[in-house]
Chain A
Amino acid sequence: MIDTPAAAAPYLNIESLWKAFGDFLALKDISLNIKEGEFVCFLGPSGCGKTTLLRAIAGLDLQTRGRVMQDGRDVSNLPPSERDFGIVFQSYALFPNLTIEKNIAFGLENTGRNKAEITARVAELLQLVGLPEQGRKYPAQLSGGQQQRIALARAIATNPGLLLLDEPLSALDAKVRVHLRHEIKELQRQLGVTTVMVTHDQEEALAMADRIVVMNQGVIEQVGSPTEIYREPANLFVADFIGEMNQISALAGPSGVVRIGESDMQARPHAFQPGAAIIAAIRPEDVIPHGKGARSPGAPDRIKSPENAFEVLVDEMEFLGSFWRCRLQNERFGGGELIADFSINAVRRLELAAGTQMMIELPRNRLMAFARSEYGA
């Protein structure tokens, strides 16, 4: 995005939002800014409050406390009809007894447009979503993916300032989903409409969002770009929820050192007191394979160079198409196992097979230290 001053001013401003259902707090002090034209995903497990937050932004279920500002206007207590947004639901919510054309035209009526203008706009929208020939059909005559596109066309028909997508793809099968996710993103870029999408699918969020808001139990765990969220998870929850992550019980050393089993490992700088119980974490694809090697009896299993390298036994290998997932074992390694994803090339080059001994390295800038969390390890 180009950082012009206009784009820097938040379009949607959420201030200290709380939502209570009886004693249950679905949202706890949520604050968030969304810039104009941005595509933001609310990502989290079911029950984390992401849909509640979306419905509060839409005014469909009002928050208990807090403010929502849209385009400089306080919309906190306005009904949906007095806000400015279009919405697409998981169920599409297309009107079954109206044709596709009439579905799309529904929001265009009573807006001062005459019939010809409405017809033209409907045709334009059908063209935009790539279904120019389907206007006379009924929703039930279209496939799920087509219905979703019509729902999208209906939502953007009146050029709303904000587009809200509530799990728009989760009712579709995998192939269609991947295809549509690309199309929606493309359409959003084309229209430049500020978009908020709720999803529980991390892949979807990583592929589509400019920024991801990771939520859990009613709070925001982290806000960041997809690469930030993936590469620099703020805590163990984010690290665990997005992508795969090895979690190894460890003790903190001085900053930049973690102690796993009996070995000190070089790691990213951290702020834990030496001796504190922590979780050392590394993604499977960050484990570097260094080649076959048998351990000579009595020799230390840690090699000084390269750092963080040690010997493991390949216990099991699972072929997952584009890579091999290997379970690695080393009894000194806290007794646990380590999952590593090795490329097919590496496996072939190093002649890895179950039962072989090999050297691996945990690169220091990929080995992270997290507090042992209340989420349970």
Chain B
Amino acid sequence: MNLSHSNPVTLPAGRDVRGKLSRDDVIMRGGMIVIALYLVVTLAFPLYAMLSKSFSTFRFELAQYEFQVSDEAGVFDGTILNGAQLNQSTGAYSGGDLAAGSDSRLAVTPFFPDFSFRSPVQYQIRNASDTGRFLVGSDLYDDTDWLTLDSNTFRRVQLRPVKSRGIDNFVNYFSTPALFNSIKNSLWIAVVSTIVTVTLAFWFAYALNRSCMRFKGLFRLVAMAPILVPSLLPGIALVYLFGNQGMLKELLFGASIYGPIGIVIGSVFFTFPHAFLIISTALAISDARLYEAAISLRATPWRTFWTVTIPGARYGLISAAFVVFNLVITDFGLPKVIGGQFNVLAVDIYKQVIGQQNFEMGAVVSVVLVVPAILAFAIDRLVQSKQVALLSARSVPYQPTPNPRVDRIFLAYSTLVALFIVGILAVCQFAALIKFWPYDLNLSLNNYAFDKMDGGGWASYFNSIKLGLLTAVIGTSVVFFGAYLVEKSNGFKVGRALFQMFAMLPMAIPGMVLGLAYIFFFNNPANPLNPIYGTMAILVICTVTHFYTVSHLTAVTALKQMDREFESVSSSLKQPTMKLFARVTVPVCLPAVLDISIYLFVNAMTTVSAVVFLYSPKTTLASVAVLNMDDAGDIAPAAAMGMMIFYTNAVARILHLIASKGVLARTQAWRNR
């Protein structure tokens, strides 16, 4: 009796068994859909609004307007004049004049060379088609009835452009050297900063992981400090050091710090911790057995370095490079402060939107900026997925052996790097306490009188703290719960895959782009969510979404370490999954939950790029205040505010550390055998 011979080997026709959903399934799917909708509304819709904005073009269609002119007695002879023909005969406007923005207006009097606002001549105007629109003063006329106006009123007639879709904005962008040069500039500084940062960070991480030098803990601490300040703070320090009245200006030998040099130095500062963390992790997981093998094969240290160390860390190096590249190319604060005339993409967006109110062009630059950002992001994800495969459970951690000479060299090197980081921060603090650099070097607290400066004063500092706390609490809840639902719910494969995709997307979207997209989406009066525009709510939503990906990945990593069968056991015991979530999942994952909340808090305190478009006079933020005070020439107060952010974040970190320890001691007793 061999059943396999008699069995049919194809699935019999019929419908697949469809499981009845349990209450837990319904709750979990419902929750997942709610959070997915949140991501759609706060990410997909705004991005779509921005994309469609970049393709919307405006143009004056003169053929849509018809005019009649009376004689001096005010009698019309019935001759109808078409706008396009008038323009052709008078040459009033060239083709370029007719390309428009959403707010453009066009006067009509140039069509009538004899026009005088004092003459008794009467004019009639109407739209020749339904799409035509014109203003008289501020009154809009979009019907096709004739309107009779005297000369003085006719002077106030302005035509409105017609909206259409097309690639005109992109054509315009790429035919304006001042604009598309920024692409080259952005790529250039991103590449240079990446090479410098990754090199510096690699040797720093190498020193910490592979040597026996002293003060490793201190160096690690210093290396992470730049994460606590806005990216534009190093810019301010560089102005003090190398600016027109800089302390060390001579060191530049006449070169200007305002431009690529400043951007690169500052970028190295603020991207250093990110590169260091990634590379350090890569070096830490190296397998000691490979080094023992290399020694037994009598490989020289040089050869071992190139055949064991570098290949082992290569995924970390590549990943760090793309992360740094992405951070630099999307950063706005630093080039804004120290970029001078050197235009980069992120600042272009700001200039187009805030400076010129050209939203369409801002959207175009955003689209251009998204391309390298998404590319770098995609390659990084690819590389990271490979690194996981590299890990082996049987690896033996590498233990460095003391080598006095080498250790001294590494100590010297690490000290230099640490001095660079501490130096930048110290200069800012120094600048903040000096009365009036370089003329009055007395110490004072005048620069802390933020209420006397642009940027919102002390209120903006407290707004920032409020934003940080709200983001930490709300963001952590949303992110962790969302990650739990997507990790641990049954079936619903398509929905979960979509959710994962949405959760990864924010990382690829530069902050400037996100902020601008929010303007387009939320500032639209037709949007029912319009009321949150200009409130703290939109800042919280934007910040949570902006930093969603890393938080989500942290949560997913923690959840993946949980036994997959907890949910199965719980449902076999007929207990609600939410009870399991509250009693087991959250307590076990508490360290990750705390990590997510401090990550969100610190980033909410330092972020500039997304919120710079979204704050209102009531919701000014400390990080934006730094920018605005610097913009207004109040550089010292800007430095003072930047350092306030630093100290706040440092305190938050310390509190987080204490809280973590306390919480761990209380709830994680099971970790100690």
Contact = CB atoms under 8 A, between A and B. Distances in A.
Contacts of B11: 18, 20, 25, 64-65
Nearest to A166: B565
Nearest to B590: A97
A139 B670 contact: yes
A97 B668 contact: yes
B573 to A, nearest CB: 3
B12 interface: yes
Contacts of A222: 1
B12 A65 contact: yes
B588 interface: yes
Interface string B1-26: 11110011101101011111111110
A135 to B, nearest CB: 14
Interface stretch (A33-41, A81-89, A114-122): A81-89
B219 interface: no
Interface in A91-118: 91, 93, 95-98, 106-107, 109-111
Contact of B565 (A59, A62, A89, A158): A89
Given A62-B19, A65-B14, A78-B20, A93 B588 contact: no
Nearest to B670: A138
A95 B17 contact: no
A78 B571 CA distance: 12
A359 interface: no
B119 interface: no
B41 interface: no
A79 interface: yes
A80 interface: yes
A62 B583 contact: no
Contacts of A158: 573-574
Given A80-B568, A81-B574, A371 B20 contact: no
Given A28-B7, A154-B569, A77 B575 contact: no
Contact of B569 (A93, A160, A237): A93
A91 B565 contact: yes
Central interface residue in A81, A89, A91, by most chain B CB within 10 Å: A81
Contacts of B670: 96-98, 138-141
A13 interface: no
B17 A81 contact: no
A87 B570 CA distance: 10
Interface in A40-86: 58-60, 62-66, 76-83, 85-86
A112 to B, nearest CB: 12
A65 B670 CA distance: 43
Nearest to A373: B2
Point out which of B3, B24, B573 has the most chain A C-beta atoms below 10 A from its C-beta.
B573
A82 B668 CA distance: 33
B16 A64 contact: yes
Contacts of B565: 89, 91, 93
A62 B584 contact: no
B21 A221 contact: no
B669 interface: yes
A249 interface: no
B568 A97 contact: no
A234 B1 contact: yes
A248 interface: no
Interface stretch (A212-220, A318-326, A349-357): A212-220
A29 interface: yes
A237 B4 CA distance: 11
A12 interface: no
B394 interface: no
Contacts of B17: 62-66, 76-77
A235 interface: yes
A60 B671 CA distance: 29
Given A25-B9, A25-B11, A65-B17, A79 B22 contact: yes
A155 interface: yes
A109 B568 contact: no
Contacts of A220: 3
Contacts of A81: 22-24, 571-572, 574
B27 to A, nearest CB: 12
Contacts of B569: 87, 89, 93, 154-155
A110 B568 contact: no
Contacts of A160: 572
Most buried by A among B568, B569, B570, B574: B569
Most chain-A Cβ atoms within 10 A of its Cβ — which of B8, B23, B574, B671? B574
A80 to B, nearest CB: 4
Interface in A154-172: 154-155, 157-158, 160
B45 interface: no
Nearest to A18: B11
A220 B4 CA distance: 8
Contacts of A234: 1-2
Interface string B433-476: 00000000000000000000000000000000000000000000
Contacts of B587: 97
A98 B584 contact: yes
B369 to A, nearest CB: 40
Contacts of A59: 19
Given A98-B584, A141-B673, A28 B9 contact: yes
B2 A107 contact: no
A59 B567 CA distance: 13
Nearest to B3: A219
B660 to A, nearest CB: 16
B566 interface: yes
Contacts of B131: none
B3 A86 contact: no
Contacts of B164: none
Contacts of A78: 19-20
Contacts of A62: 17-19
B90 interface: no
Interface string A210-243: 0000001101111000000000001101000000
Nearest to B562: A96
A91 B670 CA distance: 17
A302 to B, nearest CB: 32
Interface in B653-673: 667-671, 673
Contact of A221 (B3, B18, B24, B667): B3
A234 B671 CA distance: 50
B114 interface: no
Contact of A219 (B7, B568, B583): B7
A224 B232 CA distance: 76
20 contacts: A18-B11, A29-B12, A64-B16, A78-B19, A79-B22, A80-B22, A82-B22, A86-B572, A87-B569, A87-B572, A106-B570, A107-B572, A107-B573, A157-B573, A219-B4, A220-B3, A221-B4, A234-B2, A235-B1, A371-B2
- The 10 A-B pairs at the shortest CB distance, nearest first, are namely A107-B573, A79-B22, A138-B670, A93-B565, A80-B571, A81-B571, A235-B2, A89-B565, A95-B584, A62-B19
Given A77-B19, A93-B563, A216-B4, 4 more contacts: A16-B12, A18-B12, A28-B9, A65-B12
Interface of B: 1-4, 7-9, 11-12, 14, 16-25, 563, 565-566, 568-576, 579, 583-584, 587-588, 667-671, 673
Interface of A: 16, 18, 20, 25, 28-29, 58-60, 62-66, 76-83, 85-87, 89, 91, 93, 95-98, 106-107, 109-111, 138-141, 154-155, 157-158, 160, 216-217, 219-222, 234-235, 237, 371, 373-374
